[in-house]
Structures are given as structure tokens and as C-alpha cells.
Structure 1
Amino acid sequence: MTITNTQSGTNVHEIADGIFRINTPVALPGDVGFSFNQYLIVDDEPLLFHTGLRQLFPLVSEAMAHVIPVTRLRHVAFSHVEADECGALNQWLAAAPHAAPLCGSVAALVSISDLADRAPRALGDGEAVTLGRHTVRWHDAPHLPHGWECGFISEDSTRTLMCGDLLTQPGAGRVPVTESDVLEPAEAFRMAMDYFSHTPHAGALLEKLAQTKPTTLACMHGSAWRGDGAAVLRALAERWSS
């Protein structure tokens, strides 16, 4: 792990082949530890998943520059329309003149075609984009955990699932990748904040994600997780159905 800003503690770490987690620890009201993660796929056409908050852009772009020049970025992707997911979108587009937003068709239709300074590339459910040696796929998942436009990206060769707000863990996320339990901490955090939509389709959507057979779960908050990701997603579905 490389610390890229000693004041904030922002750091970068390769969690899978060519996939880097950028992590910034923060304090929520009440001095509760939390973190924001972005994921950079380094390839012929580099992709960033999650833009981070606008106020974090200097820290996140500084961290990216430790891996590749920011101007190399080609795709700026996110799960759903929320400040930590795409708040800094236009700042990234300004810093990377050849980059464009990459999102689901619903997000493009209802928000990003208007919000973004550059036209988005809208992906349908299951649509793949080749970055070079990595191939990413978009998976529609409306209201999982929230947002009509919500979806996720999986990467074929590393079997990494960019799982957004699923399995959100409290704390600074200082361990880049863990094999310890993340389900229980995430569920305790969810039950305290109740930030899920309670969609009746959650089980089917989680099973669709489990079918990608991920071995790395790239969480937006907390540590990434390595192991049988399908089993964790199915356990999550079981918890929600009880």
C-alpha cells in the first residue's frame, strides 16, 4: 500500500491484476470512522469506477497520478447517481480530455446526459466493453441497494465485481483487501442506517451478480474482499429475505 497524501491518509493499492483501490479515510458526524474508495483499471483504455466526492477530487487525482497520468483516463464509471459515486464527474472530464462517462442506460437517460459536460456511453444489461486485456460488463440492478439507475460492473479476467454500496463497512478501510468476514459488519451498518430500498427483487438481482462468480468484491466503503464472492452475495440475499 502506498500513502499518497500523508495529511488525509489517502492511499492506493493493487487489489487484483491491474486493478487499484484508491482509499480515503474520513470521519462522519459523531466521529464515526468511514472511507471512500475508487477503483482504477489500468489498461489501454483506463477506467475509473466511482468518481468520489467533488471535495475529494484533489486527493483522488493525486493518488491516481501515482499509478498513471490522469490524462490517460478514458472511462469514468459509477453504480448510481449519488455524490460519492459521481459527484466529481465533471472534474475528471476536465482533467482527462479523452474520457467520457460510462453508465447504465437509465442513468444516461434521466441524469447524466444533462449533468455531465461530455455525452455518456450508455450500457445495456450485460453489455461488455473491452479496455485492452480487461473486459468489463454492466449489470442492471435497479434499487439494489438504491436508485432506479443502479447497476454494477464486473471484470472478466480477474473476476472482480465493482459492488458499489453493497457490503459497506464502517471504519477507515485501512486493510486494502481482506479475507475476514465483511457480511456481519456491513449488515450491522445497514441496519443502523437503513439505506436500502427494500426492493422485492433483491434476491434475484443478487443471484444475477453471484452468477459472475467473483473472487474479489471491490466495495466502495471499507476493505475489498477476496474469496468466494458468490457465496457472500447469496448469504447477503438470505439475510435480506429473513
Structure 2
Amino acid sequence: MSVIYQDLHQFSTYIPPINLTFHQYLLLTNEPILFHTGNVQQATEMVPKLKSILGDNNLNYIFVSHFEADECGGLSYLLEHFPQAIPICPEVTARQLTGFGLVQEFISKKPGEKLTTESYDLEFFSYPSEMHLWEGLLVLEKRRGIFFSSDLMIRFGEANNAILESNWETEIDDISKEQVPDQERRIKLQQTLKQLNPNFVATGHGPCLKV
């Protein structure tokens, strides 16, 4: 657990057999929001840390970019401890979460929509994630310039509290067919993201990026 950028806390788990680090993030404001839950084991380890950081504050939202174990596998466990938290997710993911009985209440977002509060300004973008090309969401927190990239910008290795200097356009150009197999949708995604100008990329795996 560490403060990785401004008021953004990072929780990390390194898995040696696959040489990959998994991250979740807490934007600690007056309306705290968690980005991804990790799997059940990761969520179990994270909850005491979240409670310590939050103190008497509630967790307002939990953002889920797409339906996969490290994005939402620990959601039910987290909601047991933070029952007031409302998941924010794509429409497809909302149907999956309710179909598995994981949530009762959620906020469903489409690409191009926003969520503005006193503490942050989130804008959502289409993410044709590699899991069966299910429609996911990427999100930019516009006041701080933090882009939450989910699995899109991935590097292997141990990366707890690690930050790399990089170039935004290079990162976008390096999005591979393994990440977005449909070429047309990959090109459209790259064109959309190149219009953005973030300061910091909070990755799902590997070092975060200063861009």
C-alpha cells in the first residue's frame, strides 16, 4: 500500500509464477472511490488497509472496468464490508454482475458519459477488452489527469510503487492485437485515446506511467 500520485493510493500484489503485479487504486477524497477489487484473496488482504485509510469515512464507489477476476472477483467481499459502496461499470458488466448475483445496486455507464462530483470528474471511454471483446470502460479523472488503463498498458515484473517516464502517444501506438484483437476497434480506440492528454497512467499491471 502506498500513495502513488497526489491523493491516489495503490494496493499491489505480485504473483511470481506468472511474473505479474496486480494493482487496485483508492482515490482518497471526500467521496472515496476504489478502482477494481482484485480477486477474493487480494480483496481480503486489501480490506483492512482500506478501513485503516478511510477511518470513519465511507467508500462511495467501486469502479469495475470489465468482468474478470482481478477487476471484480472480490466485489461481493468488499460490499460485505462497505455495503454503502455503489459499483460503477459498463452495461455488459452490469448484466454479468447481476446474473451471478453479485450486486443489487449499480451505476451503469456508457462510453462518452461522465460522473462529476465535488471531488472528481470522471469521463468514460469504450474499452473492447480482450475477454471475448466484451465492452468495457476506461476512465480519465480529468481534474488530476489520471488515466485508469485497466489491462491496456501492461508490463510484466514486480512493480509495487513503481513509476516509469513514458510518452502517451507511444503507449497508445503499442496497444497490441493481443489486448484488442479486433483491428477496427483497436484503431478506433487508439484514435480516441490520442485525443486525451493525461499526466499519469494508473495501470492494472506493471509500473504506473508519467506521461
TM-score range, shorter chain: 0.7 to 0.9
How much identity, in percent, do the aligned residues show? 25
Q: Superposition pairs for residues 121-140 of structure 1, below 5 Å?
A: 121-140=107-126
Seen in structure 2, the aligned counterparts of structure 1 residues 203 and 145 have a Cα distance that, compared at 3 Å, is: farther
Q: Superposition pairs for residues 138-153 of structure 1, below 5 Å?
A: 138-143=124-129, 147-153=133-139
Residues in 1 aligned to 2:35 and 2:144: alpha-carbon distance in whole angstroms? 15
Q: Which has the higher strand share?
A: 2
Residue among 173, 185, 190 paired with 1:201 = 185
Residues in 2 aligned to 1:207 and 1:145: alpha-carbon distance in whole angstroms? 21
In the alignment, what sits opposite 2:75?
89
Asked if 2 retains the 8 angstrom alpha-carbon contact of 1:100 and 1:118, the reply is no
In the alignment, what sits opposite 2:59?
73
In the alignment, what sits opposite 1:240?
none
Instruction: Report how many aligned residue pairs link the two structures.
Output: 207
Residue among 106, 117, 133 paired with 1:120 = 106
Letter in 1 for 2:10: R
Runs of 4+ in 1 over 6 A off after TM superposition: 181-184
Residues in 2 aligned to 1:209 and 1:88: alpha-carbon distance in whole angstroms? 29
Residues in 1 aligned to 2:56 and 2:109: alpha-carbon distance in whole angstroms? 24
List gaps (5 residues or longer) in structure 2. Answer: none
> Which shifted more, 89-98 or 116-125?
116-125
Confirm or deny that 1:223 pairs with 2:191. no
Letter in 2 for 1:202: R
Shift of 1:146: 5.6
Q: TM-score, normalised by structure 1?
A: 0.76
Ranked by relative contact order (alpha carbons within 8 Å, sequence separation 6 or more), the top structure is 2
Residue among 16, 23, 33 paired with 2:12 = 23
Q: TM-score, normalised by structure 2?
A: 0.86
Residue among 58, 71, 96 paired with 1:111 = 96
Asked if 2 retains the 8 angstrom alpha-carbon contact of 1:43 and 1:132, the reply is no
